[in-house]
Structure 1
Amino acid sequence: MGIKIVFLCPRNIRNTPDFGEVKRFGNLNGHAWEQIELPLYLQRNKITGLINLCNSAPLYSKNQVVTVHDLAFARHPEWFDSKFAKWYNWMIPRVINRAKHVLTVSEFSKSEIVDFYGTEGSKVSVIPNGIYWDKESIKEFENPIKDKYILAVGSDNPRKNYDLLIRTFEQLEQNQFKLVIVGSPSKAFSTSSKKENDKIVWLQNVDNNKLKALYKNAHLLVSTSFYEGFGLPILEALELGCPVLANGIEVFKEIYKDSINYYQENSESDLHLQLKQILESDKQQVSVQYLLEMLSYKSAGIKLVQILGIT
């Protein structure tokens, strides 16, 4: 049995996948488009199945599969803008309850969904994130940072714990490195950690090609996140040969196991010690081909087909 894939999006969206058919429609954007125009389009065109890959989904579409990446908005609403937190905490449990099936990106996030909402475990399936970047294209792009540097990647929001990273970085003695943080503030979050000087550089609106060059040439990627559902920047860094030092939280250890370095969970003193040791050494070699094969778009696609029963 064949299956037709149609990518549905608001009329003003131009950056779309290069597979399947693309349908742009409607006069609204964001959640208004998702909750009003999308379900009406499905009904008018007798589309019987919908897969949502980005947390939210139409509340009143029955035959749909939804993806919930993590429950940061529920576990830590104080990290978010109050209106965003209230909307997500009202919407997501209803979407999960009405969905035919729920996807998530780690066993940690699955346990969060099951424990927090009382969802049946059999209704939730784990499909880890995947990645594929053309490494050859990196040669065409010049690295925007000329000095030696360590890298952090992620939007400027409280759960990334950039305050700890910046404070620890500034305490390092005889430090010849810069700290480069790639991330923009978001209206969805409550506060910003932005601090910039001659040693700390913030980059915003960095396209994928420049980001690849930043990963490739960094001495180290550091992830100080308090809470994640997966930690995609770590996977991006590893694929481009960049070693990683991460907070020793449960989900990172589940996904990346012994492929990266950890500091004791939320420990400023251990982060300082590990950073000092790593920066005083030559750049570590990364060899994680087995991990990259497991965490790939191909692997994710095979699992999705199995879950949906598509042949």
Structure 2
Amino acid sequence: MPLRAKVVKPARKRRKAKWVGKGHWLRRRLRLQRAKKLKKLVNKKRRRIRHRDERQDTPVPVSIAGYQPPEGAQLEEQDTILHKLYRSMLLDGEGFVRELHRQVLHRDASDQEAAELTQQLSSGTDKVHIAELVMLSEEAQRLYEQPFLSAGRSNRDTIGAIINQAYASSHLFFVHFLYYELLSRLPEESELRGHMEHLVRGVPRSHLIRAFLLSEECRGLLSSHEPPRRPVKYLRNPSDPSTGEVSIGIFMGFPHVTPLDGEGIGRFSIRLIDGMLSTWDRLKVYITTTETNYDEYHKIFARQLEQYAGRLVLMKSDSMETINRTVPVHVWLVPYVGLELAVYLQRPYVLCLHDLVYLHFKELYFRKSPEFCDWMERVVYRMAERAAAVVFNSDYIKRKEGMEYLGLQEPKTQVIRLASPQDEYNFMGLVPEAEFRIKYGLADEYIVFPSVIRFHKNHSRLIESFIAYKKIKPSRLQLVITDQLTPDGLNSDLYGELGRYPAELLASVRFIGRLPSGELPALYKYAKGTIVPTLFEGSCPFPILESLTMGTPVAAGRLEVTQEVIRDMEAFITFNPYSVSEMVAAIAQLDQPQAALAVRQQAAIQETLQRTWSHVAGEYTQLLEHVGKAN
């Protein structure tokens, strides 16, 4: 290959740099930055348009109120007793002993206790048996049985406090509690029966705790190399959202026999279900209850079950595991704060908190019903804490119970006011007057207070006022009360007080018992007037709305919660519910022939009377839809 001569190019002359001012470079830099920013914005817009087009090409199923967490999403519960024990057992000997004392007994172990138990561990005793010794000691037992106010509230997340919260609950709840807290699951029907039989026969609850703690299943979970799985809170939507059908559950898992006919919770549930199903064709409602109450509730909801066949279903089970697995709902409604089994529902629930009356009369209720108040204190925090939303019937109760007492945050609360029973009463029709009066022995004129006997309902002062009025103006007027008077239970004080009145005057006070819902319109319609002396209500007293729906005038105590709904109280006969003299004057006004009084009162709350249960149901359905989507 011939060699080529290397060509040497002449060197290029370097151009002399032209001097430019500083401002020129700044302007150039700004232009470049603006161009770069503009390019980014253009590219971002192009990507957004491309993604929008892709979404439009893919059809998305529409769900009205479906509970639709992301694929595979599972929201987990807080640590159970099992998890706290597992973490404690990861500590060395003395550290484990001291942590166990802090968790169970709310104190540190003494040096002697720590030394003795550490020595047992060194001698081969396993940690589960040490946990048994501490958790079932006499000191621990006393803590479990203490009132929640002194034992549970200050250390709510410890093992001792968790057991304390459940120790006063029903047998059915306690068995669920042990499965959930010590085995990280819920019991099947077959597993429930044996434990329930033991508790009914009087086996101490501490024996059941020991049996669960020392069980092979619990030991296996505690000795696992990985932490025990936490119970799943929310499961995926059980139905196909593309159908557009919305399924709502109404949880009525009362563990004991609990009559609903004539009770506020029963009337509330019936009216709400009617409002929901009569307005929304795509809605399906599942009522779940326990074996104990199934037959009674089937009678109460008989009309609705027939009218909405296929869209209203009544189911029964004592096992929350069975309910979670077989009831295909998106979201639950819990109509009473005492339905504590609801904390084991595996789909979100909305809690109706009508009121916590014992908080407003602590001295009276804690003295008269300490067991009930203690149990409610243990339940209400847990129920409200685990609820996805809490509904109140008035701003007053939302502020007092929800915000001040329970410490709920505003976004979790909702006020949904009740409505008049106009549609329901129109559907029921009226029992003929003669038939109604003969059945209840009401041949003479009467005024009525339709309420069960409770401390805050003020029956004692009402009867005293009525007897005083009868002494001033003898007549055949009767006072009708819709409850039975018995010498025991909640009625014992009232029963004893009535002995001081002359028999001939007391005969005009009639206790006719709780009426079936279908007879309530007649009770109001044929009365001369309705008197509502209650000292407290969670919303505008319902007898006011019921009575005026039937065109019967009302006399009512002056309450803050009533004035939220009735802005113009001048049309009403009002009185101080603590004043006998004012109540006597109110009875005298009701006893006067005032044909136009009911008309004036109806006009004063016309807007409230026009609100129907379809409106109430619409607001509940909207909230349930929101909760279902959010979770």
Q: TM-score range by the shorter chain?
A: 0.7 to 0.9
Aligned residue for 1:273? 585
The answer to whether the aligner puts 1:193 opposite 2:494 as a matched pair is yes
Q: Structure 2 CA distance, aligned partners of 1:61 and 1:189?
A: 32
1:244: Cα distance to partner? 1.0
The answer to whether the aligner puts 1:91 opposite 2:375 as a matched pair is no
Relative to structure 1, the CA distance from residue 71 to residue 306 in structure 2 (aligned partners, 3 Å threshold; closer, same or farther) is: same
TM-score, structure 2 as length reference:
0.44
CA contact (8 A) 1:65 1:99 kept: yes
Aligned residue for 1:81? 369
The answer to whether the aligner puts 1:174 opposite 2:473 as a matched pair is yes
The answer to whether the aligner puts 1:24 opposite 2:337 as a matched pair is no
Residue 183 of structure 1 aligns to a residue whose secondary structure is: coil
Equivalent residue for 2:425, pick from 116, 134, 147: 134
1:239: Cα distance to partner? 0.8
Aligned residue for 2:513? 204
Structure (1/2) with the larger strand percentage: 1
1:178: Cα distance to partner? 1.0
Deviations 1:29-48 (A, max 9, x none): xxxx4xxx236511465645
CA contact (8 A) 2:398 2:413 kept: yes
Q: Structure 2 CA distance, aligned partners of 1:221 and 1:39?
A: 46
Identity of aligned residues (%): 20
Aligned residue for 2:443? 146
Give 2:312's aligned amino acid: E
Relative to structure 1, the CA distance from residue 67 to residue 218 in structure 2 (aligned partners, 3 Å threshold; closer, same or farther) is: same
Equivalent residue for 1:214, pick from 498, 504, 523: 523
Relative to structure 1, the CA distance from residue 22 to residue 38 in structure 2 (aligned partners, 3 Å threshold; closer, same or farther) is: farther
CA contact (8 A) 2:485 2:511 kept: no
CA contact (8 A) 2:573 2:589 kept: no
Aligned residue for 2:343? 59
Deviations 1:174-228 (A, max 9, x none): 1421111112469984745244832111110322233221200111111111111
Structure (1/2) with the larger helix percentage: 2
Relative to structure 1, the CA distance from residue 108 to residue 90 in structure 2 (aligned partners, 3 Å threshold; closer, same or farther) is: same
Relative to structure 1, the CA distance from residue 46 to residue 199 in structure 2 (aligned partners, 3 Å threshold; closer, same or farther) is: closer
Q: Structure 2 CA distance, aligned partners of 1:185 and 1:279?
A: 25
Q: What stretches of structure 2 of length at least 5 have no aligned partner? A: 1-62, 64-244, 248-284
Residue 143 of structure 1 aligns to a residue whose secondary structure is: helix
Deviations 1:139-181 (A, max 9, x none): 5453322211111111111111011111111111114211111
Equivalent residue for 2:598, pick from 285, 289, 293: 285
Deviations 1:48-82 (A, max 9, x none): 52111123341233611111100103333533632
CA contact (8 A) 1:59 1:95 kept: yes
1:308: Cα distance to partner? 2.6
Equivalent residue for 1:115, pick from 400, 404, 411: 404
Superposition pairs for residues 292-311 of structure 1, below 5 Å? 292-294=609-611, 296-309=612-625
Relative to structure 1, the CA distance from residue 42 to residue 76 in structure 2 (aligned partners, 3 Å threshold; closer, same or farther) is: farther
The answer to whether the aligner puts 1:41 opposite 2:335 as a matched pair is no
Superposition pairs for residues 204-283 of structure 1, below 5 Å? 204-230=513-539, 231-258=541-568, 260-283=572-595
Aligned residue pairs total: 301
Aligned residue for 2:392? 104
CA contact (8 A) 1:56 1:67 kept: no
Q: Structure 2 CA distance, aligned partners of 1:92 and 1:188?
A: 23
Q: Structure 2 CA distance, aligned partners of 1:140 and 1:280?
A: 25
Q: What stretches of structure 1 of length at least 5 have no aligned partner? A: 27-32
- Once structures 1 and 2 are overlaid, which stretch shifts more, 204-213 or 252-261? 252-261
Deviations 1:60-116 (A, max 9, x none): 336111111001033335336322221111101211111100012111211122111
Q: Structure 1 CA distance, aligned partners of 2:321 and 2:418?
A: 27
- Once structures 1 and 2 are overlaid, which stretch shifts more, 74-83 or 196-205? 74-83
The answer to whether the aligner puts 1:124 opposite 2:436 as a matched pair is no
Q: Structure 2 CA distance, aligned partners of 1:255 and 1:263?
A: 17
Aligned residue for 1:29? none
Q: Structure 2 CA distance, aligned partners of 1:53 and 1:191?
A: 29
Relative to structure 1, the CA distance from residue 190 to residue 204 in structure 2 (aligned partners, 3 Å threshold; closer, same or farther) is: closer
Q: Structure 1 CA distance, aligned partners of 2:617 and 2:425?
A: 19
Q: Structure 1 CA distance, aligned partners of 2:388 and 2:614?
A: 24
Bigger radius of gyration, 1 or 2?
A: 2
Q: Structure 1 CA distance, aligned partners of 2:484 and 2:551?
A: 24
TM-score, structure 1 as length reference:
0.86
Q: Structure 1 CA distance, aligned partners of 2:510 and 2:579?
A: 24
1:234: Cα distance to partner? 1.9
Q: Structure 2 CA distance, aligned partners of 1:188 and 1:103?
A: 31
CA contact (8 A) 1:182 1:203 kept: yes
Relative to structure 1, the CA distance from residue 209 to residue 146 in structure 2 (aligned partners, 3 Å threshold; closer, same or farther) is: farther
Deviations 1:253-299 (A, max 9, x none): 223333643213522222222222332343433335432222x2111
Q: Structure 2 CA distance, aligned partners of 1:185 and 1:106?
A: 31
Q: Structure 1 CA distance, aligned partners of 2:485 and 2:384?
A: 28
Aligned residue for 2:130? none
Q: Which has the higher contact order (CA 8 A, sep 6+)?
A: 1
